[in-house]
Amino acid sequence: DSDYFNKLCPGYFLIGSCENGHRFSKEIYCGREWCPTCGAKWSAAHQRKFSRWLPKVLQMKQLGYFVIEWPLASRFQLRSKTALEDAGKMIKQVLSGEWEIERRRDRGERISRQRKEDIRAWWFPEGLRRWHFFGDLVKELGEGMKGLAWVDNASESSSGGRGDRYNPHVNVLVSYGFITRGKFRRIKRALRAALQEPDLIVHYGYTREPARMVHALKYITRATFLDWMWAPDVAASIYNFHNAQVWGKWDGEPVWSLDNLEGD
Ligand SMILES: [Zn+2]
Ligand SMILES: [Zn+2]
């Protein structure tokens, strides 16, 4: 479909007409990241993504934010939809605790229901994850996300990177705050083993301030693939790609509201 790269947006969808012949139509946004309309900061498409996740973030007393990034030499492996989907699912498996449970079973361990619950509770029973395709992490963490308290200082990320250089990274939001060094090390080890990437780069930051949570949510839901010509092969491959994944139960009450931001 030649429209895939350059499509008129918004398009219009006819929803009906009245007896006088007036026609009613609804605006349809394509949602592609490189669309000049949808890819814009705080566009209708951006706001829709933000609103879809907001009710979940409102249930968080603290917001923890993982950024998982591949070393320069391995990024070529993530240029297809399948590779991105597989890596995204694996990250969810690890962070939800399911990977540890599976691994223990593979080793012949018997896992009781209680043990399973304990393992899940050590990890992150609820989470949200989304890919960014571009972005210099030194800049993202140091400027865009500087409001969070970061467990590391992005020292492992390749700095001076151009914004238009392919740098797929997964953003994960969890309901968690400070992480000890020991716990962080264990998480990193598991992710590296599961993704078979010994040099995988993992960042973690957190906040308990609503204004910063809102900023993080806006930041993570924004578009980064702003021009398909930055990586035409990837753009062609990710047709119908489900970028976001949510796991766990989100049936809690909101613990803060957007009203908390007044005067901010
Ligand atoms: Zn669009
Ligand atoms: Zn990013």
- pLDDT grade, residue 153 (50/70/90)? low
Q: What residues does the ion ligand 2 have nearby, CB within 5 Å? A: 132, 135, 140
**95 SS3 class:** helix
Cα 19 to ligand 2 centroid, rounded to whole Å: 50
Q: Which pLDDT value is given to residue 259?
A: 87
Question: What's the rounded Cα separation, in Å, for the pair 262 and 264?
Answer: 5
Q: Which pLDDT value is given to residue 65?
A: 96
Cα 199 to ligand 1 centroid, rounded to whole Å: 36
Cα 108 to ligand 2 centroid, rounded to whole Å: 39
Cα 254 to ligand 2 centroid, rounded to whole Å: 27
pLDDT at 139 over 90: no
Give tens-digit pLDDT for 217-256. Answer: 999 999 999 999 999 999 999 988 999 999 999 999 999 9
Cα 65 to ligand 2 centroid, rounded to whole Å: 11
Q: Which pLDDT value is given to residue 27?
A: 85
- Ligand index nearest the alpha carbon of residue 5: 1
What's the full length of the chain, in residues?
264
Task: Name the residue with higher pLDDT: 49 or 163.
Answer: 49
pLDDT at 44 over 80: yes
In the numeric block, the tokens 């957190």 are attached to 206
Q: Which pLDDT value is given to residue 6?
A: 77
Mean pLDDT of all residues belonging to the chain = 91
Give tens-digit pLDDT for 70-107. Answer: 999 999 999 999 999 999 999 999 999 999 999 999 99
Q: What residues does the ion ligand 1 have nearby, CB within 5 Å? A: 9, 29-30, 35, 37-38
- Ligand index nearest the alpha carbon of residue 40: 1
Helices marked H in 38-136: 44-57, 81-96, 98-106, 113-122
Cα 235 to ligand 2 centroid, rounded to whole Å: 17
**127 SS3 class:** strand
Question: What's the rounded Cα separation, in Å, for the pair 134 and 71?
Answer: 14
